[in-house]
């Protein structure tokens, strides 16, 4: 830590620079994007439409935070498990005083006071809620209403915005501006079956299946219906009950997906009788609702909480219901409410301010990476790193579109880029492509194979370079590909997706008082997260810290506790996609494989 006097000496020459740079200068374009494929200009929004404008200030010490993150997450490092405190992380991501001073003076010159601004704990984000006409003047831009032709969604966005040139080095990005992502649940609704019937129950296979390779025995019915018992058998966790009082698990909910407590009781009565009458904590983020009408029960939310909380019971469970980016209705003269930012940042702002966030968190939502501005993806990914440094494990579904975007008929996917060049490329998903989260792909049946084509997503990021923890495994996979295969269709130097996998089809879920079979990587992520919570329990009961950011462990010692999936391929974009193989692979998007809890519980305790 630098002394106050030393800080004053260092900053004294910068104060003059800050004063000089506060003089208003001409606007210069900060960011511009091509109109994303599938969006058309619909009209002009009302001038009094309100927007929650978020301004990100640079984090000059982020590389130092990243160093800390990798050291405390590497099982071979002396600092493994020595996670940072909330205050230590905030100190590392705080903007430079010059940036704070320059941006404050700009906002003050526009008539804003401190009461108008909401600052993040680290002061690296400033939020102001203003009429759209004011935002247009500030950013020297014009907003329009845009319509997504296929879905009918509407957004108020611009394709370019400007800032005074003296602010460019002090402001990293401003949103919502160029962000056209649709932010959708990572599931394919075609895999949601008709309501579960008694006929299916009477036709369930009897007996058991033994995996010759692992020796694991599973009820034969698990190839027709996935229940908690099936997952415990498949992943070698039968008989384990967590007991650490300081353990916790979280599920994120967005887009008015409500986790219904009556449905949870039906699920517990059916699959986890010991948990009947237990419930979960609901935390509202930015006014997120908690509608408990059975008619409004969310299939995504019910799936997530039932399996994540069912596997990990009685670990302390939390469901985050986050408001944001409700569909804009262009035919109303008056706006229904403020136009919030992408819910990722709304939720991240909230959870980074929590003194003790849940230790393992699953999110089953995502965007096509190419619909997310690069600056936004980078900054959001950096926020995920802050949570990892504090000891939080973050799991994200890898997506459901094969190597494509999943928006079209898989047989005719064209996988066209949004960069205005209309190139054909594989389409990775975000946030799964962020190297600071654990991306979860899908498998099915037992013995496990990669889930059916177009039902699990991944590949290689176009935004993020391959992290060092992947170098050995991803390089080995690429070396086995035929020379020139898919040249130009993917970025061989990009972060590989996913990292791991879990069962993702035929999950028996209660929705609106009825049982359904449902699937998607939206099922595999909460299931995997449930087992991460069990592993945290093992460590906490041994007096050790939680696992935190998982990937450095998974790609080193943890690999020995994963079931390798070697069968399948992931088609899309007019190609067969990548093949599954021994070791890590994006083929069928199984990554390193699925969890063997019995082995992993020993590995997380090994020195």
Helices within 110-243 (DSSP H only)? 132-139, 198-202, 228-234
Active site residue 153: no
Q: How far apart are CA 536 and CA 552, in angstroms?
A: 16
CB contact at 8 A, 525 and 361 = no
Q: How far apart are CA 178 and CA 536, in angstroms?
A: 39
Domain that includes residue 145, residue range: 25-60+95-180
In the set 304, 342, 367, 499, the catalytic residue is 304
Contact partners, residue 99, CB within 8 Å, separation at least 6? 57, 58, 169, 170, 171
Q: Report pLDDT for 18.
A: 40
Q: Report pLDDT for 531.
A: 98
Tokens of 263: 């449905």
In the set 124, 186, 300, 448, the catalytic residue is 300
Tokens of 453: 């084509």
Of the three residues 156, 180, 204, the one that is the final residue of a domain is: 180
In the set 397, 452, 522, 525, the catalytic residue is 522
Q: How far apart are CA 177 and CA 543, in angstroms?
A: 47
Same domain for 487 and 429, yes or no, is: yes
Same domain for 495 and 379, yes or no, is: yes
What is residue 548's three-state secondary structure? coil
Sign of CA dihedral 162, 164, 165, 171: negative
Contact partners, residue 395, CB within 8 Å, separation at least 6? 360, 361, 362, 363, 437, 438, 439, 440, 525, 526, 528, 529, 532
Same domain for 198 and 230, yes or no, is: yes
Tokens of 33: 């994007």
Tokens of 115: 């009461």
Same domain for 173 and 193, yes or no, is: no
Of the three residues 130, 161, 180, the one that is the final residue of a domain is: 180
161 part of a folded domain = yes
Angle value at C-alpha 430, between 428 and 434, nearest 5 degrees: 100
Report how far apart, in Å, the C-alpha atoms of 497 and of each of 61, 371, 426, 428 are: 27, 17, 12, 8
75 part of a folded domain = no
Q: How far apart are CA 528 and CA 63, in angstroms?
A: 29
Same domain for 474 and 515, yes or no, is: yes
Q: Report pLDDT for 352.
A: 97
Q: How far apart are CA 455 and CA 434, in angstroms?
A: 20
Phi and psi dihedrals of 273, rounded to 5? -55, -30
Same domain for 431 and 466, yes or no, is: yes
CB contact at 8 A, 474 and 160 = no
Q: How far apart are CA 340 and CA 54, in angstroms?
A: 9
Crossing angle of helices 86-93/62-73, nearest 10°? Answer: 140
333 is in an annotated binding site: no
DSSP secondary structure string for all residues of 555-592: TTGGGGGEE-----EEEETTEEEEEP-SSSB-GGG-BT
70 part of a folded domain = no
DSSP assignment letter at 597: H
CB contact at 8 A, 564 and 585 = no
1 part of a folded domain = no
What is the pLDDT of the chain when averaged over all its residues? 86
Of the three residues 148, 180, 212, the one that is the final residue of a domain is: 180
Phi and psi dihedrals of 89, rounded to 5? -65, -45
585 is in an annotated binding site: yes
CB contact at 8 A, 373 and 33 = yes
Q: Determine if residue 381 is left, alpha or beta; phi over 0 gives left, psi from -120 to 50 gives alpha, anything else beta.
A: alpha
Same domain for 133 and 196, yes or no, is: no
DSSP assignment letter at 70: H
439 part of a folded domain = yes
CB contact at 8 A, 429 and 401 = yes
565 is in an annotated binding site: yes
564 is in an annotated binding site: yes
- Name the stretches of the chain with pLDDT < 50: 1-22, 187-191, 332-337, 341, 402-403, 406-412, 453-456, 587-588
Tokens of 214: 């692992």
Report how far apart, in Å, the C-alpha atoms of 442 and of each of 220, 459, 521, 522 are: 20, 13, 5, 9
Active site residue 165: no
Q: Report pLDDT for 195.
A: 76
Q: Report pLDDT for 1.
A: 38
Q: Can you tell me which residue has the tokens 């088609």?
A: 571
5 part of a folded domain = no
Q: Can you tell me which residue has the tokens 């809890």?
A: 597
Q: How far apart are CA 561 and CA 333, in angstroms?
A: 58
Tokens of 511: 């929705």
Sign of CA dihedral 477, 478, 479, 485: positive
Active site residue 304: yes
Same domain for 363 and 382, yes or no, is: yes
Q: How far apart are CA 406 and CA 38, in angstroms?
A: 13
CATH code at position 391: 3.40.50.200
Same domain for 382 and 476, yes or no, is: yes
2 part of a folded domain = no
569 part of a folded domain = yes
Same domain for 138 and 205, yes or no, is: no
**Long-range contact set of residues 349-352: C-beta below 8 Å, sequence gap at least 24:** 349/120, 349/125, 349/127, 350/285, 350/286, 350/320, 350/322, 351/320, 351/387, 352/86, 352/89, 352/120, 352/121, 352/122, 352/383, 352/386, 352/387
Same domain for 123 and 195, yes or no, is: no
DSSP secondary structure string for all residues of 289-345: -----GGGB-HHHHHHHHHHHHHHTTSEEEEEEE---PPP-TT-SS-SS-B---HHH
Angle value at C-alpha 423, between 422 and 428, nearest 5 degrees: 110
Q: How far apart are CA 139 and CA 136, in angstroms?
A: 5
What is the count of structural domains for the chain?
A: 2
Same domain for 293 and 162, yes or no, is: no
């Amino acid at each position: 830590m630098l002394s106050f006097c030393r800080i004053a000496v260092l900053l004294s020459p910068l104060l003059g620079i800050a004063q000089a740079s506060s003089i208003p200068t001409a606007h210069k374009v900060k960011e511009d994007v091509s109109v994303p494929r599938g969006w058309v200009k619909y009209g002009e929004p009302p001038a009094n439409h309100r927007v929650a404008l978020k301004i990100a200030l640079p984090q000059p010490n982020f590389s130092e935070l990243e160093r800390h993150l990798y050291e405390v997450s590497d099982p071979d490092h002396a600092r493994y498990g020595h996670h940072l405190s909330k205050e230590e992380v905030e100190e590392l991501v705080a903007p430079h005083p010059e940036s704070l001073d320059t941006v404050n003076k700009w906002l003050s010159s526009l008539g804003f006071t401190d009461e108008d601004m909401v600052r993040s704990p680290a002061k690296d984000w400033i939020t102001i809620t203003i009429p759209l006409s004011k935002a247009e003047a500030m950013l020297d831009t014009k907003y329009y209403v845009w319509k997504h032709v296929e879905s009918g969604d509407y957004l108020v966005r611009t394709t370019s915005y400007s800032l005074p040139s003296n602010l460019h080095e002090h402001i990293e990005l401003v949103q919502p501006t160029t962000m056209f992502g649709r932010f959708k649940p990572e599931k394919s609704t075609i895999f949601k079956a008709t309501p579960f019937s008694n006929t299916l129950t009477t036709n369930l296979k009897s007996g058991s299946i033994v995996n010759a390779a692992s020796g694991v025995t599973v009820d034969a019915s698990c190839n027709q219906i996935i229940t908690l018992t099936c997952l415990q058998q498949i992943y070698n966790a039968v008989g384990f009950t967590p007991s650490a009082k300081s353990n916790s698990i979280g599920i994120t909910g967005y887009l008015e997906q409500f986790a219904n407590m009556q449905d949870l009781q039906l699920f517990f009565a059916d699959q986890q009788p010991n948990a009947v009458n237990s419930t979960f904590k609901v935390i509202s983020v930015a006014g997120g609702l908690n509608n408990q009408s059975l008619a409004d029960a969310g299939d995504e939310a019910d799936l997530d909480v039932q399996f994540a909380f069912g596997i990990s019971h009685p670990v302390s469970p939390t469901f985050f219901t986050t408001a944001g980016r409700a569909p804009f209705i262009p035919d109303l003269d008056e706006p229904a409410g403020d136009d919030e930012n992408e819910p990722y940042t709304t939720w991240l702002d909230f959870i980074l301010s929590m003194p003790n966030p849940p230790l393992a968190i699953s999110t089953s939502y995502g965007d096509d990476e190419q619909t997310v501005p690069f600056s936004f993806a980078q900054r959001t990914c950096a926020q995920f790193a802050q949570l990892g440094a504090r000891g939080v494990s973050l799991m994200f579904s890898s997506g459901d579109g094969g190597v494509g975007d999943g928006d079209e008929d898989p047989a005719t996917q064209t996988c066209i880029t949004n960069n205005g060049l209309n190139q054909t490329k594989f389409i990775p998903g975000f946030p799964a492509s962020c190297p600071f989260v654990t991306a979860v792909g899908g498998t099915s049946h037992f013995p496990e194979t990669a889930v059916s084509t177009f039902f699990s997503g991944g590949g290689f990021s176009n935004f993020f370079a391959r992290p060092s923890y992947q170098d050995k495994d991803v390089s080995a996979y690429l070396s086995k590909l035929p020379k020139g295969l898919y040249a130009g269709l993917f970025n061989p130097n990009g972060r590989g997706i996913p990292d791991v996998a879990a069962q993702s089809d035929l999950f028996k879920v209660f929705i609106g008082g009825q049982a359904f079979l449902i699937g998607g990587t939206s099922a595999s992520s909460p299931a995997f997260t449930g087992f991460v919570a069990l592993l945290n329990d093992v460590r906490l009961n041994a007096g050790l810290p939680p696992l935190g950011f998982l990937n450095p462990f998974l790609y080193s010692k943890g690999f020995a506790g994963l079931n390798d999936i070697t069968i399948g391929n992931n088609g899309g974009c007019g190609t067969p996609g990548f093949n599954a193989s021994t070791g890590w692979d994006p083929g069928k998007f199984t990554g390193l494989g699925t969890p063997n809890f019995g082995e992993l519980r020993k590995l997380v305790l090994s020195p």
